[in-house]
Structure 1
Amino acid sequence: MQFISSIRGKEQGSALANTMKDFAGLGHLFVASFLFHFSSFMVIPVLTDVTMEAVCPGRDECSVAIYLSGFQNAVTGLGAIVVTPVVGNLSDRYGRKALMTLPMTVAIVPLFILACNRSEVYFYVYYVAKIVAGIFCEGSMHCLCLAYVADHVGPRRRAAAFGLLSGVSAAGFVSGTLTARFLSTSSTFQVSAAVAAAAALYLRAFLPDSGGVSCGDEACDPLLQDSSCSSSTSSPTSSSDEELSLRLPPQKGRLPSLSDMVTLLTDSLALSGAATVTFFYSLGEHGLQTALLYYLKAQFGYSKDEFANLLLIAGAAGMLSQLTVMPILAPILGEEILLILGLLGGCTHVFLYGIAWSYWVPYFAAAFVILSAFVHPSIRTSVSKSVGSNEQGIAQGCISGISSFASILGPLIFTPLTAWFLSETEPFDFKGFSILCAGFCTLIAFIISLRMRGAQSCKKLSTVQHEQA
């Protein structure tokens, strides 16, 4: 028994080493993703002040700025609905690296414009460029990174790997926000544009290309590798992958149609449930993003430094969660339980913002990101495990498209609501009412996730009873 235990211990140690080696193989992707998000998030704390100064100089409340922000998010989301699934599908056929270059390069342009000048004319030029860039960057970069990870990591470790990818993005968010805290407004955009250019160059120079061939369990997961049965295990993996691949017909050189995407999403309970949860959670998330900074400025007089501090707390909590907590909990609890925990934390997070009674309450609410950070990696893991190797790009693109659709509805719903309750003609004194409504959207996603969990448990129980009979 001791001999067997020692062998198993050595095998587990070797498996862990191989697992870390697989994750290390994604190092170039992590570096490129970090630089991209570092550049993108660095300018967020100063954008509210830049917008207000260009549109409504000298004022703390400005409905025009809120509507401009909402319109930008809506148009960006509308374009991303079309672009993201197409980009994901093209990456399945032509490789991830070639398609990843597009959002990385386009993201440089709006940053360069504000790096030159932030006057009213330059702001509106930036505004148009940002909408165009957002159409190609809003969901495409994240979608392609997820597909790239799925190409290199087996399904059993995909939740941890997706969590690490999100953690790297959160690290870019924290680093960018912290950097913005110590830079002037003009220097912030100059540094951001330089880092965005460096990210695109690094991607082209160092990232190995990856096509649409995803790793199977036996091929990628050292916990399942066994030299004595490698030939016998390869067949079930391929057959299982072929069964998943039948969800979409062969594309024969054409782009996927809307009916193809609908068929893919409605063909399984996991995909349709993930799509529904994504929609409601993203609707609440984009509603919060639309209202939060303007609400905090009107309610508590927040400025650049307070915005940076708040975003820094939220980013640090997300980074800690995804880099340390999620890789530990994912193999133990599974993505379904992590999704429920994340949505519960997300509800608490948003509701606390909406009912904040003092300037410190938003800082406390931001700490709940340590739980809400589980949501997106858990959804993406469920989606990735539900499709074949040749559908990773389009499946992730469809989920990103649904999130983009929510980003259209979010500004359309919450922008006028926020402007109304922050104006002097509000129906009653509750400046956080629009954020509270966003919290109810997140609550709906939480309830749906509970029903999904119950339905899956019932299905597994009936399957076991049928097999026993």
Structure 2
Amino acid sequence: MENWGRLSHLFVTVFLSNFSELMMSPAIPDVTLAAVCPGKDECSAAIYLTGFQQAIAGIGSVIMMPLIGNLSDAYGRKLLLMIPLVLAIIPTVVLAWKRTTNFFYAYYAIKTLTAMITQGGVLCLALAYLADNVSEGKRVSAFGVLQGVVSAAYVGGTLAARLLSTAQIFQVATAVSIVAAIYMGVFLKETPRQIDALEQPILNLAESEEDSCKASKKIGVIRKIPSPRDIFRLLKSSITFSLAAFVAFFNSLAEAGLQACLLYFLKARFHFKKDQFADVLLIAYIGATISNMIFMPTLGPLIGEETLLSVGLFAGFLNMFFDSIAWAAWVPYASASMGMFLFLSSPNLRSIVSKQVGPNEQGLAQGCILGITAFANVISPLIYSPLSALVLAEDAPFHFQAGWLLFEYNDSHIFEKKPSNDSVEA
């Protein structure tokens, strides 16, 4: 692969950043419930808070992802990459210090604001950096390796969460996020920019080279914010790009709903705790690491991104379907094993998008797609949070258990409430 030394530093940065973020994920539901609803395994307020945070972060990301992508086209990937890496440190420090109710709400407010940039900023700029340094024919392999690195970070972070105490999780996550920012600043080399890097075909900032030099001194950052009209032009520039955006939106709409509510559903349904959450995530991410590090580089150039995208989308459907009808505690573990194919959709979708635009539009294009997925994250809580809170409430109007209907599971005590200290058989 071209520029392997340059790309290896990017992979290390992405690994450390995601390792820190995913290390905290299994512990967040327990911390949230302990702060909002002490002593309970079911809490509608916690679900609504999570959904609200996801929606606000999504609204901000709709604007910020195209913006930082477009700014990176002009000012370089490395400079812009430092912003989400530094912002990610702040909320992690709060929970590393204390996890009392007041500290939780401080973390919640800071995380909601910083997530507007950190939620997709690192990925957006990493994808644009790869597109700068890898030829079109090898991008599907490179994007697959990047997704494999992310999955490997998920495995490492989840395994660390499985072994560490809650207090240690946030302390280690803080240290790793700091190391990620320092490592990137020291080792990552900036992508060589072309002379006309400030001339964006979509935005038409300058008509000629002479005008561009003069305009670049006068145009402020606010001038570089892509308008909805600019995004619409980009979507119209290619039918393939438009279809990719359509797929990205609906796929993210479903995935965001699952991510926001699944852990709370498993906690209420089977009394899962931090260790069980980590086990389920670990199974999924190990499969994702294998598929993206091995299958994508080998099969991608042979069968094409479109085929692998279809496989990933179908695996995602099966995963959500079996989670939704889970009739026993082992079902989420079995469903997570589909992680071997579940995470194929994202890198293939990004690879398809990267081939539809020019070299000076990679940041804007990747930011546009991430902005669309962020918009799906805004809509998703409006659908799933009230529905999940309704069904998981103690006074739920009905017990939704589709698995009981499909598999004729007639054990009537399945709907009975269990004591919170019951052990979970994995």
The runs of 5 or more residues in structure 2 that have no matched partner are: 208-222, 404-426
1:78 and 2:59 are equivalent in the alignment? yes
Q: Distance in 2 between matches of 1:254 and 1:403?
A: 21
SS in 1 for 2:26: helix
Q: 1:337 to 1:345 in 2, by over 3 A?
A: same
What is the correspondence of 1:172-183 to structure 2 with a 5 Å cutoff? Answer: 172-183=153-164
Shift of 1:248: 5.0
Equivalent in the alignment of 2:389: 419
Aligned-pair Cα RMSD in Å: 1.9
Letter in structure 1 aligned against 2:320: V
Equivalent in the alignment of 1:117: 98
Shift of 1:132: 1.3
1:212/1:391 contact within 8 Å kept: no
Q: 1:384 to 1:212 in 2, by over 3 A?
A: farther
Q: Distance in 1 between matches of 2:266 and 2:206?
A: 49
What is the correspondence of 1:136-155 to structure 2 with a 5 Å cutoff? Answer: 136-155=117-136
Q: Distance in 1 between matches of 2:378 and 2:193?
A: 30
Q: 1:357 to 1:368 in 2, by over 3 A?
A: same
SS in 2 for 1:386: coil
Q: Distance in 2 between matches of 1:281 and 1:21?
A: 31
Equivalent in the alignment of 1:318: 288
Letter in structure 1 aligned against 2:24: V
Q: Distance in 1 between matches of 2:194 and 2:142?
A: 17
Q: Distance in 2 between matches of 1:307 and 1:164?
A: 26
Percent sequence identity is 47
1:22 and 2:11 are equivalent in the alignment? no
1:151/1:213 contact within 8 Å kept: no
- Alignment partner for residue 160 of structure 1, among 141, 147, 151? 141
Shift of 1:347: 0.6
Letter in structure 2 aligned against 1:423: A
What is the correspondence of 1:218-233 to structure 2 with a 5 Å cutoff? Answer: none
Shift of 1:268: 1.1
Letter in structure 1 aligned against 2:255: E
Equivalent in the alignment of 2:216: none
Map Cα deviations across residues 341-369 of structure 1 (whole Å, 9 max, x no partner). 11111111110100111111111111112
Letter in structure 2 aligned against 1:329: L
1:91/1:211 contact within 8 Å kept: no
1:213/1:389 contact within 8 Å kept: no
- Alignment partner for residue 386 of structure 1, among 349, 356, 364? 356
- Alignment partner for residue 240 of structure 2, among 257, 263, 270? 270
1:163/1:377 contact within 8 Å kept: yes
Q: 1:79 to 1:246 in 2, by over 3 A?
A: closer
Letter in structure 1 aligned against 2:88: A
Map Cα deviations across residues 315-336 of structure 1 (whole Å, 9 max, x no partner). 1111111111111110111001
Q: 1:89 to 1:211 in 2, by over 3 A?
A: farther
Equivalent in the alignment of 1:57: 38
Map Cα deviations across residues 300-324 of structure 1 (whole Å, 9 max, x no partner). 1100110010010111111111111
Equivalent in the alignment of 2:421: none
Q: Distance in 2 between matches of 1:356 and 1:325?
A: 29
1:103 and 2:84 are equivalent in the alignment? yes
Letter in structure 1 aligned against 2:312: G
Map Cα deviations across residues 242-297 of structure 1 (whole Å, 9 max, x no partner). 9xx75553468643221011110122111100000000000000010111000001
1:91 and 2:46 are equivalent in the alignment? no
- Alignment partner for residue 180 of structure 2, among 192, 199, 209? 199
1:23/1:161 contact within 8 Å kept: no
Q: 1:431 to 1:101 in 2, by over 3 A?
A: farther
Compare relative contact order (CA 8 Å, sep 6+) and give the higher one, 1 or 2: 2
2:67/2:224 contact within 8 Å kept: no
Q: Distance in 2 between matches of 1:191 and 1:315?
A: 20
Shift of 1:212: 5.3
Map Cα deviations across residues 439-467 of structure 1 (whole Å, 9 max, x no partner). xxxxxxxxxxxxxxxxxxxxxxxxxxxxx
Letter in structure 1 aligned against 2:383: I
1:429 and 2:402 are equivalent in the alignment? no
- Alignment partner for residue 344 of structure 1, among 288, 295, 314? 314
Letter in structure 1 aligned against 2:82: T
- Alignment partner for residue 204 of structure 2, among 249, 254, 271? 249
SS in 2 for 1:402: helix
Shift of 1:24: 4.2
Q: 1:136 to 1:431 in 2, by over 3 A?
A: farther
1:74/1:408 contact within 8 Å kept: yes
Q: Distance in 1 between matches of 2:333 and 2:136?
A: 36
Q: 1:316 to 1:390 in 2, by over 3 A?
A: same
The alignment's TM-score, normalised by the length of structure 1, stands at 0.80
1:92/1:211 contact within 8 Å kept: no
Equivalent in the alignment of 1:401: 371
Equivalent in the alignment of 1:12: none
Q: Distance in 2 between matches of 1:70 and 1:173?
A: 22
Quick check: which one's helix share is greater? 1
What is the correspondence of 1:437-456 to structure 2 with a 5 Å cutoff? Answer: none
Instruction: Give aligned pairs, total.
Output: 386
Q: Distance in 2 between matches of 1:414 and 1:192?
A: 29
Q: Distance in 1 between matches of 2:353 and 2:29?
A: 35
Q: 1:246 to 1:115 in 2, by over 3 A?
A: closer
SS in 2 for 1:113: helix
1:26/1:149 contact within 8 Å kept: yes
Q: Distance in 2 between matches of 1:23 and 1:344?
A: 33
Shift of 1:412: 1.3
Equivalent in the alignment of 2:331: 361
Map Cα deviations across residues 75-105 of structure 1 (whole Å, 9 max, x no partner). 0000010111000000000000000000000
Letter in structure 1 aligned against 2:29: T
1:422/1:431 contact within 8 Å kept: no
